[in-house]
Homo-oligomer: A and B are copies of this chain.
Amino acid sequence: MTSQRTSPGTTDVLPDEVDPASDAMTWTIAEVADEFGVTHRTVRHYEDLGLISPERRGTTRVYHRRDRTRLGLVLRGKRLGFPLEEIRTIIDLYDAPRGRRSQLEYVLAQIDERRADLEQRRRDLEAALAELDGFERRCREDLGRMR
């Protein structure tokens, strides 16, 4: 009934093998937790913070494709080191109403801020990788001199 095989630490936001045609497909909390490799407590915590808002059938949570999309975005944000509160403002942006012109311009301004942040991270990341490369080279030279 649900998808399998989603190893943690992937770049994709969604686990694969999800029937693309069924927009009406739903999942239980255990299913989404398993597929995304988190506990149900984590999923509930994200709901408490307003990161996802599953439907309720009676008292039970029912997750739709939209919730999975958002959960995927949350976890990628976490892998990138963003705090959950900040992640919420970001993904809320994607779902924000953009009817009026002022709203659209606000959204565009937010996008610029976000991009600046991400690009700073990219520079840090490239610098760290470059240093790692240089360090490995020196280590290999040391190793060459030893034998």
- Which residues of A are in contact with B by a Cβ distance under 8 Å? 9, 11-13, 76-77, 79-82, 94, 98, 101, 104-105, 107-108, 111, 114-115, 118-125, 127-129, 132, 135-136, 139-140, 142-143, 146-147
Contacts and interface: CB of A to CB of B under 8 A. Distances in A.
B143 A80 contact: no
Contacts of A124: 11, 76, 79-80
A113 to B, nearest CB: 11
Nearest to A94: B135
Contacts of A12: 127
Contacts of A13: 127
Contact of A114 (B81, B132, B139): B132
Nearest to A9: B120
